[in-house]
Amino acid sequence: MNVTWLMRMAKWARRPPSMLHVKIAAVAVLAVIVIVVVDKLGYWPDWAKLNPRGLRNWKP
């Protein structure tokens, strides 16, 4: 493990994030999970999907 990551973990142990930051992160993770589940179930609209074939030969 890098020394930078150890220092960052020590900083977080001394001063953990506020409950507001934890709630914001939890809502963001929950939103991503909901979007992935809706897409896997087939309810995500076609206009919101990315067409990877169309971007392969894209030139500005």
Q: What is the pLDDT of residues 8-18, one digit of tens each?
A: 999 999 999 99
Three-state DSSP state, 60: coil
pTM, two decimals, is 0.64
In a domain, 13, yes or no: no
User: H helices then E strands: how many in the chain?
Assistant: 3, 0
Name which of 28, 27, 25, 29 is nearest 16 in CA terms: 25
In a domain, 52, yes or no: no
In a domain, 2, yes or no: no
Q: What is the pLDDT of residue 48?
A: 83
- Look up residue 1 and give its amino acid: M
- Find the domain containing 29 and state its range: 18-43
Token pair 């506020």 is at which residue? 18
Instruction: Domain count for the chain, please give it.
Output: 1
Q: What is the pLDDT of residue 1?
A: 74
